[in-house]
Structure 1
Amino acid sequence: MLEELGIYYSVANTAAAVLFLGIGYWTLLASPMPWLYGRRIQYLISLGFSIIGLAWFANIQGIQDSIWCQLFVGASEGCAEALAQLSLSDLFFQHQRGSVLGVYILATSVGTFLGPLVSGYIAADAWRWVGWTGLMISAATLVTFYFGLEETAFHREAILGRHLGGQSVETLADEKKDDEGQLDARGSTDSDTILMDRKRTYRERIALITPAPNMIGTGFKQYFHRLFHTLRVFTFPAVIYSGLQWGAQDAWLTFYLTVEEDNYYGPPWNYSNSAVAIMNVPTLIGAVIGCVYGGWFSDVFVRWMAKRPGRNGISEAEDRLWLMFASAFINPAGLMLFGISSSKGAAWPAPYVGLAMIGFGFGCAGDLSMAYLMDAYPDMVLEGMVGVAVINNTLACLFTFTTSYWIEASGLADTFIAIGVLSFVFQMTTVPMMIWGKACRRWTYQRYQRFLYLRDGEQ
């Protein structure tokens, strides 16, 4: 494509940066939608953006098309940055979050690393069919989602409000705090106060819009109030921490994919499109291992920590962070190994082992940090993930703009040594979160409750 249209690799990096901007900032702009109109509508709109972006990609005629089609493709991915996690929190319990987030990260890893593999084979015959193939998949997914994806929105406050006789959930939460400001470990609903809602019909479950109980009119004013209110999430340390971890992994993604595209087609490797595409397989293998480690194993580890003497079965959000240390060493080592071996023209196995180590960090760092955020602020999942998406994609965008220039100025080896050091520093911010994370949660408790009150109030 680049040769046919006369597009430089720097333009491709700019297009990737626009992609990241589309992901992060559409996630922010669309964040009030699931609370006011239900989850389904945003999924369907995002798939519509995907169809537009891919149709545009398949008909690229020049530089401007190659850049701006990525804005729509990026916006289409916004639902995977926060809404998917919200849907998972609707459906699964806290002790299952690591596992289900592991499956979520695995799915994103398959798309991230198998996507280039499949597109490499398609592009070998006709690169425009990459866009057409994606369009057909998106259209089929849109139809499947419309008829098969049921609404998961559950407005717990509305149901509790009917039973509590007007007493606010916030008041009950305050009454159940202990002397340190922590919530009582008991369940929020006793067995004699369980309420059963009637089962909704199939047509109700697949309705395009499921209005919130507190929506006023069309919800236009509430939409912008909630949008502005969402910006408060950037005052929560756990959001900053999670965004930094996930953003770093997306940033490094641009570096090693750029090296694969820029270097491995030429000597001494002289790889074909399919050979370069196959380089994503070890990264995917590492990501799968990372997802199992940061997902299923982290749930096992958290349950083990809760059963230790003196814990009384209580799990702390910071328990998962112990597992970040493996990624803090393996991921930077993989970046350095891949960069140094590529600069020396090494073939199998060094660059591929490095890619597998990078994939491990991609699979578990995001999983663990997002699970930590969901455990720390369980009723602020969507807004927390929106904050993570903005930080994550802004960071990835900035690094994407600098990738080519940095490699040209410093060389492959020095660049990857530098980002390996940065990766280690970013992931070792886990240490202060483990030491002061609980204190931060206690410090932000009233702000968190106030956030929920303002979000769910009739405004």
Structure 2
Amino acid sequence: MSKQPRDPPKVNIPPLSKRSPGCPLRPTQSSHETDVLGEQIQGSLVKASKEDYPGYLKTGPQSTRKESFFDPDFKVISIETGVVGSKDDISPGSEPPGTVLLETTLNNTTRHPTPSSDPNDPLNWKPWRKALNFFLVLFFTVVAFSCNCVATAFWGQLNTELGFSFDELNNGFALGIGGLGIGCPLFVPIAVKFGKRPVYLVATILVIVATFWQARMKYLHDYYAASFLEGLATSLCEAMIQMTIADLYFVHQRGTMNGIFMIIIAISNFLSLVPAGYIATNINWNTCFWILGGLGSGFLIVSVFCFEETKFERAEDDPRDIHELHPPQGKMKWQLRPYTITTGSWGDFFKTFYTPFVVLISFPIVLFVTLHYTFMLTWLAMCATTLANSFTQPPYEFSPEAIGNMNIAPFIGLLIGSFYGGWLNDKSMLYLTKRNHGVYEPEMRLYMLIPMCLIMTAGVFMFGLSIATGTHWAVPMVGLGVFAAGFGANGSITLTYLIDCYRDMISDAFIGIVVVRNIMSMVVTFCLSPWIDLNGLRNVFIIAGCLSLVPLVVTPFMIKYGKHLRRLSADKYNKNKGGI
């Protein structure tokens, strides 16, 4: 006689507080282990079966437990109502910064952070308004970075007309990198206190002054001073653009926005050198700076009337449920005030000048991103100066326009890498979040980082070794494109990972990153010529290629232990956050 099938067991599901979804997981009461046999969880849109999801939990007298693929501490999740089973009680605030319940259904993505009900909250702005603000920031980046890099296309002409040696030109490039490192810890704390709008406008004026100065330079001290001033102004482009992305966009959109940012880096660092080479050859090199100065002047006029302040102080924990969110009520105002002062004492303000360096050594995840970003930018500086030096000399002897054309390949490579590390990384993150029952962990972004680390290393070897042996110009050009693909993907992924982990500390974190990165890049650029003279170009790039594997080695460790490190740093994060 066959046994009658029994009814599925009822599951008692502890409700989450009204903060979720879209907020850190914080149950209002502790949960208990429950017998989940594969039936549909009551009140959930997801079937918790071991065929469908890796976080299947089975408990009982002879049960075994399979932990979540992404988080060994987290068990079965009900997307609508929260935690079904857990070995240990989860107390409020137990989830580390960055872990959020992101999915409400399999087809809808929760907006996180939760926007306020104020229509002037940048998270509530219309898409066109966000796009306009972001476009202006990106345009500033194009003009500023182009001014820093464009001269490398016509170093040969500067050597002939002004008598600057290639070592002196190399040192001027290094001074610009030094300005990038010094300007960030000076300007960003001011932006935190008084708002981003006035600092962007002042930086634009400095870019215009430095650009026109370079257009009229005749002596070496002009080149050195203008390069350093240009670097100071351009230093805003990285730290503050990450602050702007965090202000305007939700967590599932940030990878795409950083991918767009990396495309802008490609345009300013590589593509801008293509027309610069033609202009320098057919007109003169001064015209390049006059054009950039004119673009900067036009940008300044538009920004005065259209660039808005994105700094907004919202409640730390919004108690509203996602279903209680309604369209913002009230009058929308354009945020065009000259400055926006953040509340706090002047002692707190001066503290922000050294806090970034405390953050740098106190948070392992910040050190991890610093390692990646420092190595990326160091190899980029090496490749840029090597291209400018080597291709103006035998066996290549390229003209300025030919050197400019060499930058087409890295531009294409960076476009591919930015798509991979931006939009595609966002889609991958959403897919893994659904598989993890709606719980998003920032480490989900890092899986796509590993292959691009290998690609970047391959590009370094291919570029440097082919030049050292005098190989046909197409080989180093392809190598530079391969390196740029890895550069674009790695930059987008690591920057977004840091924002997702420590959104409310992003300004302090990026100041430390930018300073370390630029110090390293400046030192390597200053030492590159004597280093090549001592060891040869071939050995220099062999060493660089081997060292570029260091970030790859630590990435699997961060994938496995990143959440644990975020949990250990939660108290320090709560003390330091508030930097944007």
Secondary structure, aligned partner of 1:189: coil
Contact 1:5/1:62 (8 A) holds in 2: yes
Equivalent residues in 2 for 1:215-364, closer than 5 Å = 215=344, 221-234=347-360, 235-308=362-435, 311-364=436-489
1:149 is the counterpart of 2:341? no
SS at match of 1:307: helix
Deviation (angstroms), 1:196: 4.7
**Aligned-residue offset at 1:297:** 0.7
What displacement does 1:263 show?
2.0
Cross-structure match for 2:170: 13
Following superposition, the deviation at residue 428 of structure 1 comes to 2.7
Aligned to 1:383: 508
Distance in 1 between the 2:202 and 2:400 partners?
33
Residue-by-residue CA offset, 1:43-89 (whole Å, 9 max, x unaligned): 11111110121122122222222111111111111221111111111
**Alpha-carbon distance, 1:413 to partner:** 1.9
- Kindly provide the amino acid, as one letter, of the partner of residue 414 in structure 2: A
SS at match of 1:31: helix
> Whole-Å Cα distance in 2 between the matches of residues 64 and 102 of structure 1?
37
CA distance in 2, matches of 1:192, 1:259: 58
**Within-5 A mapping of 1:194-213:** 196=328, 198-202=330-334, 205-212=335-342
* Runs of at least 5 residues in structure 1 that lack an aligned partner in the other structure: 161-168, 173-186
Query: Aligned pair in 2 of structure 1 residues 131, 225: CA closer, same or farther (>3 Å)?
Result: same
Q: Does 2:227 match 1:70? A: yes
Q: Aligned pair 1:91/2:248, yes or no?
A: yes
* Aligned 1:433-448 pairs, distance under 5 A: 433-448=558-573
Length-normalised TM-score, structure 1? 0.87
RMSD, matched Cα: 2.0
Question: Structure 1: which 4+ aligned runs deviate by more than 6 Å?
Answer: none
* Corresponding residue number in structure 1 for 2:16: none
| Structure 1 residue 227 displacement after superposition | 2.1
Quick check: 1:117–1:278 contact (8 Å CA) kept in 2? yes
TM-score with structure 2 setting the length: 0.69
Distance change >3 Å, CA 320–CA 92, structure 1 → 2: same
**Cα distance change on mapping 1:336 and 1:379 into 2, 3 Å:** same
SS of the counterpart of 1:300? helix
Q: Distance in 2 between matches of 1:41 and 1:427?
A: 39
Per the alignment, in what secondary structure is the counterpart of residue 256 of structure 1? helix
Given candidates 519, 526, 547, the residue that maps to 1:401 is: 526
Contact 1:336 1:413 (8 Å CA) reproduced: no
For 1:102 and 1:193, how far apart are their aligned partners in 2?
29
CA deviation digits over 1:130-169, x for unaligned, max 9? Answer: 222221111111111111112211111xxx3xxxxxxxx4
Residues 207 and 233, structure 2, Cα contact 8 Å, conserved in 1: yes
Q: 2:189 aligns with which of 32, 44, 53?
A: 32
- Cα offsets for 1:267-299 (capped at 9, x unmatched): 332321101110000001100000000001111
Match of 2:539 in 1: 414
Report which structure shows greater RCO (CA 8 Å, sep ≥6).
1
Displacement of 1:200: 4.2
Corresponding residue of 2:140: none
CA displacement at 1:369 relative to structure 2: 0.8
* 2:320 corresponding residue in structure 1: 189
Distance 2:557 2:170 in 1: 34
Aligned equivalents of 1:13 and 1:266: distance in 2? Answer: 15
Which stretch of the first structure deviates more once superposed, 70-79 or 263-272? 263-272
Deviation at 1:372, TM superposition (A): 0.9
State the Cα deviation string for residues 369-416 of structure 1 (Å, max 9, x = none).
Answer: 111111111211222222221122112112111211222222222211
SS of equivalent residue, structure 1 residue 429: helix
- Structure 2: segments with no counterpart, 5+ residues: 1-157
Decide whether aligned partners of structure 1 residues 275 and 76 sit closer, same or farther in structure 2, where only a CA change above 3 A counts.
Answer: same
Q: How many residues align?
A: 420
Aligned residues of 1:254 and 1:403 also touching (Cα < 8 A): no
* Paired residues of 1:328 and 1:428 also in contact (CA < 8 A): no
Cα distance 1:222–1:408, how it changes in 2: closer, same or farther (>3 A)?
same
Q: Match of 1:233, as an amino acid?
A: V
1:197–1:60 CA distance, 2 compared to 1 (3 A):
farther
The alignment partner of 1:199 has SS state of coil
1:238-271 CA deviation, whole Å, 9 max, x = no partner?
Answer: 2222122122222112222222222222333232
- Stretch deviating more after TM superposition (408-417 or 42-51): 408-417
| Change over 3 Å in CA distance of 1:198–1:59 after alignment to 2 | same
Which among 292, 298, 312 is matched to residue 134 of structure 1? 292
Seen in structure 2, the aligned counterparts of structure 1 residues 107 and 188 have a Cα distance that, compared at 3 Å, is: farther
Moved more, 31-40 or 329-338: 31-40
- The yes-or-no answer on 1:110 pairing with 2:267 is yes
Larger Rg: 2
Do the aligned residues in 2 keep the contact of 1:54 with 1:132 (CA within 8 Å)? Answer: yes
Match of 1:175 in 2: none
Contact 2:355–2:508 at 8 Å: present in 1 too? no
Query: How far apart are residue 33 of structure 1 and its match?
Result: 2.3
1:42 maps to 199
Q: Which residue of 2 aligns with 1:178?
A: none
1:338 and 1:100 mapped to 2: Cα distance?
29
- Which amino acid in 2 is paired with 1:419? A
Pair 263,193 (structure 1): closer, same or farther in 2 beyond 3 Å: closer
